[in-house]
Structure 1
Amino acid sequence: MNALNWLTGRPTQLSGEQQHRLEQLAAPAALDTAILDQQRMVVVDVETSGLNVKRDQLLAIGAVVIENGAVDLAQHFECTLSCENHKVSASVLIHGLAPSMIAAGTEPAEALLDFMTFVGSSPLLAFHAAFDQRMLSRALKQSLGYRLQHDFFDVAQLAPMLCPDAALEHAGLDSWTQHFGLQVQQRHNASADALATAELSLILLCKARQQKLDSLLALQQRLNLWLRRPGRHSL
């Protein structure tokens, strides 16, 4: 993306083929009462140049699919985005994204079109989803002029809601995976974190079914009530 476009928020000029792909993107599906085991959900994690959602840049996207009650490893997405005038930061070093990888990455508009094609109409899940949602929304608007309207579920909220006895309401992903004894081979890159979040999500969806929350709509309605409970502190 042109640096001026990134700063001003103006969309990059798309090619005719990219504009056609943009117009063909699926509209987000409305949450309904379809049972959880029949849902396709995309679990996403992003890597960025920092934690400022207004200034920092999206550098990588990793995603896996939960479908038919399991993680479908045949459906996965991984992409590093090219970034002009990129400066190495502590955040980037943690993610292991070398400057050469970023320089050789996919042009942002193309990468984001690929990602949204992969997502289709499916709802999205992420750990601390507000950050991923805002970074993706800003990148999509700036690169494609596209408004992200897909439903997002925050696994960091679902976990303490569904597992109150764990006493981990403000815990991170590592604490939750350790709580359930999940063997996480790698962390701190988008694809690995998306897979770890997906494995945790499968456990939580099982907990939801045990609590008679059999659909994403029912899960969202319960979550809305839980977030409004008296005395709740923000995650």
Structure 2
Amino acid sequence: MKLFSWLRPAGPTLTAEQQQRLEQLPSAQTLGECSLREQRWVVVDLETTGLNLNKDVVLSIGAVVIEDGAIDFSQQFERTLQRSDHKPGPSVLLHGLGPSAIAAGTDPRDALLDFMAFVGDSPLLAFHAPFDQHMLGRALKDSLGYRLQHPFIDVADMAPLLCPQANIREAGLDDWINWFKLQVFERHNASADAMATAELALILFNRARAQQIHSPLNLQQRLSQWKRRQQSHSF
């Protein structure tokens, strides 16, 4: 036993099967120069106990795949995570996940392994991606000891970059849904919000191609340039 090793917090406890699944997860790929249409994208949305990045936890994960320039309805993902110590808060009024749904959920370790196997090596899209990226990354680290390295692109930044004429930079998902007149019949659960985000992303990919943005890497570069300009203008 190494000196002071007892001071280090123990890592997550995994079964042999879970450990094997963890080791078999593919490595994340960096954004490349294939076409936007050729890239497989995973559009993700999380429902959480709240908005505190350090204390709140993930309650459910919804995701859908964009591939070959369309939403692939055969590739959809939905899991509710079991949280034995969860006490319902105000967020239940939005996502509707009550105590019975949470109690009947999947072991968080299995749910997260299922999700990362679904993701594979694909990049992720989300609306207000930094929140989802942080919450998902913390959940993976706490439950699996896994370090999330997949690229995330924020659809909330793509929209004002590609549609400056809308002049609604600080808009939420509903604002962009209304601006594009999308027919969305359900909101505020992870799967429905992922689907709405995917529909918005498809429109934005078409706008990107029209503006000579043809690859995931090019899109990431343009977004970085745009964000730097926004930050410089705010000072």
Band of TM-score, shorter chain: over 0.9
Amino acid at match of 2:196: A
Show structure 1 runs of 4+ deviating over 3 A. 8-11, 230-234
- 5+ long unaligned stretches in structure 1: 1-7
Residue 233 of structure 1, CA deviation: 4.3
2:191 is the alignment partner of 1:222? no
In structure 1, the residue matched to 2:16 is 16
Is contact 1:50–1:91 with CA below 8 Å preserved after alignment?
Answer: yes
In the alignment, the residues of structure 2 paired with residue 112 and residue 170 of structure 1 have an alpha-carbon distance, to the nearest angstrom, of 31
**What are the residue-to-residue correspondences of 1:70-109 with 2, within 5 Å?**
70-109=70-109
In the alignment, the residues of structure 2 paired with residue 10 and residue 84 of structure 1 have an alpha-carbon distance, to the nearest angstrom, of 20
- 5+ long unaligned stretches in structure 2: 1-7
Residue 195 of structure 1, CA deviation: 0.2
**What are the residue-to-residue correspondences of 1:120-159 with 2, within 5 Å?**
120-159=120-159
| 3-state SS of paired residue (1:118) | helix
Change (3 A) 1:213 1:144: same
Is contact 1:63–1:77 with CA below 8 Å preserved after alignment?
Answer: yes
Residue 93 of structure 1, CA deviation: 2.3
Q: Between the two proteins, what is the percent identity of the paired residues?
A: 60
In the alignment, the residues of structure 2 paired with residue 91 and residue 23 of structure 1 have an alpha-carbon distance, to the nearest angstrom, of 34
Is contact 1:109–1:144 with CA below 8 Å preserved after alignment?
Answer: yes
Change (3 A) 1:232 1:116: farther
Residue 94 of structure 1, CA deviation: 1.2
Change (3 A) 1:233 1:107: farther
Amino acid at match of 1:57: V
Question: What is the total number of aligned residue pairs between the two structures?
Answer: 227
Amino acid at match of 2:229: R
Residue 9 of structure 1, CA deviation: 7.8
TM-score with structure 2 length normalisation?
0.94
Change (3 A) 1:165 1:96: same
Highest CA radius of gyration, 1 or 2? 2
